[in-house]
Structure 1
């Protein structure tokens, strides 16, 4: 990944992960923002277990095309019978519509496409650093408003590292507070292009057995299309913002004054 973020993790078996490896994975995620672990092929219950090393998991309703008995899995697919389709084809961080934003997303390949279906990732902290000084001044105190009314700072400080990064869901953000409608749309379009600037994205082509971990407050992602004549399935788990690993000390909840 010669783009300044992200790392491949080698020689690890997520079915048999000890305390030392857990600590290393957590540290690596904070350092790189995106981790790719090859050749895992985790079953749904194994994925849930591996995901829990980063915190408690969010749950989702079973709409009939999900994994029965495993509400922690949100399945996305190329065909409606296999999972949710047409999901996230714009720059976003999962769970930004929540008051306490979803901090971590994890995916496991179930069926890979022959062609297409890649996922793009971009570094939100680098995106902020590479803004002009004038643009930094423009965005630093702005607030985004989601369609459901949830507010988030456009420049978000990472709760663990304290580093600033842009935080903007291109599909679910209704407007930016304090800007006229045209100004809000213009700024969002400009930042959308900035996320996709040359050399800023890592394009992940899903392979059999891939397990990918993303810090949603450090990186955004964007799905690409895959034809319905191909069977492509990803199982996705997400960590709750109220119970992510960096809010714990020695396995216990932090005390918040």
Structure 2
């Protein structure tokens, strides 16, 4: 397996691996790489829905979706997004977010597999939440440390989180679903929301993934946020997504930074 960094602060390309037939060593390397880089991009895979489920399970226990919500009757672990309503969920996540932040126990990892490639459009943008926090001015850090966000469904999360495995601080903010900040007026919240959105979108901060058929992308949602771009129904794109449960993620079994030196 070959793992190489692909962005200034985050993300890695993984090559010379077959996700259908992973060894324990492969699994260990992918675990370490995800925690080191936050985002892994793997090309040229051929996965059935069952293959995707099995591959995803190396990162932990999968979330499941009710009949109809996930779109695949035989694979409730797969949430399908698409450019056409007949194929899956459309117009999903066109703002900076981490999947599953609306859950009281937020979703730690998302995994996407491209089933159908569009001729044009449909890229996904990713940005490093650890770097977003690091690059804030010190006075801004001091003003937001300890703040609690409110989702539209009432779920609360710290605005600045520490990763359970790495202990690194990150800016954890869902631009579309966050409804307020505890103790803030609506005007104060909207001003902060605008500032944070601009900061996450700052020049040079994003990695743009141009999807190819057979691509797999794996994101640590506590390290990396993503944003979908518009795509016309004239285009044909299908992305199958699996997500890991908070109470079953692999790093609950422990992780040491020393693991990275073994790669």
TM-score, normalised via structure 2 length:
0.93
How far apart are residue 65 of structure 1 and its match? Answer: 7.5
Mapped contact 2:101–2:107 kept (Cα < 8 A): yes
Cα separation, 1, equivalents of 2:187 and 2:63: 36
Moved more, 25-34 or 36-45: 36-45
Residue 247 of structure 2 aligns with which residue? 242
Residue 98 of structure 1 aligns with which residue? 103
User: What SS does the corresponding residue of 1:52 show, helix, strand or coil?
Assistant: helix
- Map 1:1-257 to 2 at 5 A: 1-63=6-68, 66-248=71-253
How far apart are residue 68 of structure 1 and its match? Answer: 2.1
Task: In structure 1, list runs of 5 or more residues that go unmatched.
Answer: 251-257
Mapped contact 1:65–1:80 kept (Cα < 8 A): no
How far apart are residue 64 of structure 1 and its match? Answer: 7.4
How far apart are residue 165 of structure 1 and its match? Answer: 0.3
Cα separation, 2, equivalents of 1:130 and 1:71: 39
User: What SS does the corresponding residue of 1:71 show, helix, strand or coil?
Assistant: coil
Runs of 4+ off more than 2 Å: none
Cα separation, 1, equivalents of 2:37 and 2:184: 33
User: What SS does the corresponding residue of 1:9 show, helix, strand or coil?
Assistant: strand
TM-score, normalised via structure 1 length:
0.95
How far apart are residue 221 of structure 1 and its match? Answer: 0.2
Mapped contact 1:120–1:203 kept (Cα < 8 A): yes
Task: In structure 2, list runs of 5 or more residues that go unmatched.
Answer: 1-5, 256-263
Residue correspondences, number: 250
Mapped contact 1:3–1:201 kept (Cα < 8 A): no
User: What SS does the corresponding residue of 2:198 show, helix, strand or coil?
Assistant: helix
RMSD between superposed Cα atoms in Å: 1.2
Residues 64, 192 of structure 1: alpha-carbon distance in 2 compared, 3 angstrom cutoff: closer
